[in-house]
Copies of this chain bind each other. A is one copy, B any other.
Amino acid sequence: MTTKSTNITWHGADVTQEERQNILGQKGAVVWLTGLSASGKSTIARRAEQLLLERGVTVYVLDGDNIRFGLNKDLGFSPADRTENIRRIGEVAKLFADACTITLTAFISPYRADRDRVREIMPAGTFVECYVNASVELCEQRDPKGLYKKARAGQIPEFTGISAPYEAPAAAELELVTGDLSVDQAAMAIIDYLVKNGFIKA
């Protein structure tokens, strides 16, 4: 009987988002990097992660390396699976942000509707769309994994930018033109945004 009533009391006294923010000294955000393959998403996210960790910020990067072979290993590349891929990543990113972790996601995420759905599930102001802008020509010139070459040869169907569309953000919170910026400059632009908008301390 004691246990039961205590349960009810405690359930009413769960940690609030404000209490969590105050204790941890940071607010959760999802910095959603979107752009073509080889535009620099993962590289910028990983560099920003390093710089944030150096400041003592709890931060985490979700990208193909830790998602495609784990949570989303049951998904392929059909349109429905691509949408479900982004949906799940959005839900996981939301949980991380709810834990007050600065969460950087690095996925091509070519469809505006998929990205907008993630924005819609997030608390207002905590979804930071970050357009990693590099032309197809520049990405194809970089082509670190040889994917553009394979796509041009018809070996990869529906390759974004070559044989499938990329829908650039209409009003991203951040735009990083990676042909003009160094990786450090791009990472710092993200950090500046987080500081200016009160997610982390200066």
Contacts and interface: CB of A to CB of B under 8 A. Distances in A.
B14 A46 contact: yes
Nearest to A138: B3
A183 B7 CA distance: 8
Interface string A20-36: 10011000000000000
Nearest to A72: B91
A6 B43 CA distance: 9
A26 to B, nearest CB: 10
Contacts of A96: 95-96, 99
Interface of A: 2-4, 6-8, 10-11, 13-15, 19-20, 23-24, 40, 42-43, 46-47, 49-50, 53-54, 56, 58-60, 62, 66, 70-71, 74, 84, 88, 91-92, 94-96, 98-101, 121, 142, 144, 178-179, 182-183
